[in-house]
Chains A and B, each alone.
Chain A
């Protein structure tokens, strides 16, 4: 490793010492993994019976169709609606009129500060209280709650993205006589979207993980599909491992896509970062 902030390039004695540390740490890690595996074996978690459903086509199909597909569907719907919400409120927060700016700021800050699970419970009992059947009611509660939360986060992303477009762009547009709406829709938004696409996809990872919060209401998708499986086979540990692995793989794929788009669209720059809730951001009303 070349010289970094933390330490200089190591000399031969240090390299040897680090090798010793590596070996000791490696042995400790292997021992830890071995211990966990032994406990898994000793408590019978590695028996074939407990893993059988994940090798049976009928269950694989259920996991992929009723689980993964529904989860993805919820995440996609939520993100698409959140983008709409985010554009409206993000642009609203940049408005010249205080009576537009303030309510937008309030809505965005509120939904960023409130736990998603709470929004979900509220939507489930109040907003969609009389929806039938239960799966549709859960679906829309999850989607609406995620839309509100992710939309509020994306509103911040959009605002930051629009502010990240070089100022000269807007000035030039005004100079050639464009109106305010034209400057926003023709000049600023198209450029901002390019900067924001990776951030939107990263937000999809968040939304996908948060669909599992539907567990708090009736539950739907991957987290829900786990329940009948571990109830039937009493294989809680394998089920949790398999379902978690699916989430992780899908999220890693999404992250890879985000990074690829990042390179294609914005070059090597970092993903747009958004301040936390209630932070004093320059330009905030």
Chain B
């Protein structure tokens, strides 16, 4: 898979990347893994938070609101710092030394886990808001009509409200996931050699090719972002009601 060219006589602007294509793809592999794992965790957490915020139990509503307000206004870097420097001092579990998974050339250890924890806790707040926006987008009349024809609570939810809410939350969810994809880059500063971490390494090692390196890594992100965005457009189109 990786093409190694040895030492080409002429160094083109991106030969640092071309010579190390295996490292380049491995770095983006970490980006994708970070994205996928954090996205799944954030979706689960965010859905729970959204359920708390729209649910009838006032204590949980307050908690959900407080969590979202706090986390949305906190810089992600501070959350990363907390999981790197703060949390291990308070809870032994949060050292993540118990995570030691190796799949192929990829190692998922404490740095990766801390990054996933920070990313998913942060993104969950935004997922919660996206889902809540979807629920709020359902017109009240829909639920009232469903109740009026005698559907029980479960029926109102599963047949009328949630399908519409889910559709309405696809665009904001996609925006949130794209933001998450870009935010995985912060992990590059906190010990995970994903795309930005690798780019920083290349930038230091091949000082005369910095522009080419930047463009190469930027293109990688553009491709990933476009894939997520395309998937969401497809889903949106598929679920659109005529």
Select from chain B the residue with minimum beta-carbon distance to A111.
B218
Our pick among A4, A21, A115, A279 for the contact of B185 (Cβ within 8 Å) is A115
A251 touching B214 by the CB < 8 A rule? no
CB-CB under 8 A from A121, the residues of chain B are 196, 199-200, 203
In the complex, A205 has a CB within 8 A of chain B: yes
Measured between beta carbons, the chain B residues less than 8 angstroms from A95 are: none
Within B120-168, the residues touching A (CB, 8 Å) are 135-136, 138-140, 142-144, 147, 153, 157, 161
In this complex, which of B69, B143, B182 has the most chain A Cβ atoms within 10 angstroms of its Cβ? B182
Query: Residue on B with the closest CB to A22?
Result: B59
B222:A276 contact, CB within 8 angstroms = no
Closest beta carbon of chain B to A25's beta carbon, Å: 5
Whether the Cβ atoms of A236 and B211 lie closer than 8 Å is no
Contact partners of A275 in chain B: CB under 8 A: 171, 175
- Asked if A113 lies at the interface with its beta carbon under 8 angstroms from chain B, I say yes
Size of interface on A: residues with Cβ below 8 Å to B: 58
Return the contact of B81 from the options A26, A226, A251, A278 (Cβ within 8 A): A226
Q: Mark B31-56, 1 if CB is under 8 A from A, else 0.
A: 00000000000000000000000111
Beta-carbon contact of A118 and B222 below 8 Å:
no
Stretch at the interface among A51-59, A180-188, A207-215: A207-215
CA distance A26 to B63 in the complex (A): 9
**24 residue pairs from A and B, CB less than 8 Å apart:** A5-B135, A5-B138, A5-B161, A6-B54, A6-B55, A6-B157, A18-B57, A21-B56, A26-B59, A45-B89, A110-B218, A114-B222, A115-B185, A115-B221, A121-B199, A122-B210, A125-B207, A126-B210, A126-B211, A209-B73, A211-B75, A216-B189, A236-B86, A276-B171
19 more contacts with CB within 8 A, not counting A5-B136, A240-B82, are: A4-B143, A6-B135, A21-B60, A26-B59, A39-B91, A43-B90, A110-B222, A114-B221, A117-B189, A118-B196, A118-B217, A118-B218, A205-B73, A212-B78, A237-B90, A244-B75, A255-B73, A276-B229, A277-B229
What residues of chain B have their CB less than 8 Å away from a CB belonging to chain A?
54-60, 63, 69-70, 73-78, 81-82, 85-86, 89-91, 135-136, 138-140, 142-144, 147, 153, 157, 161, 171, 174-175, 178, 182-183, 185-186, 188-189, 195-196, 199-200, 203, 207, 210-211, 214, 217-218, 221-222, 225-226, 229-230, 232-233
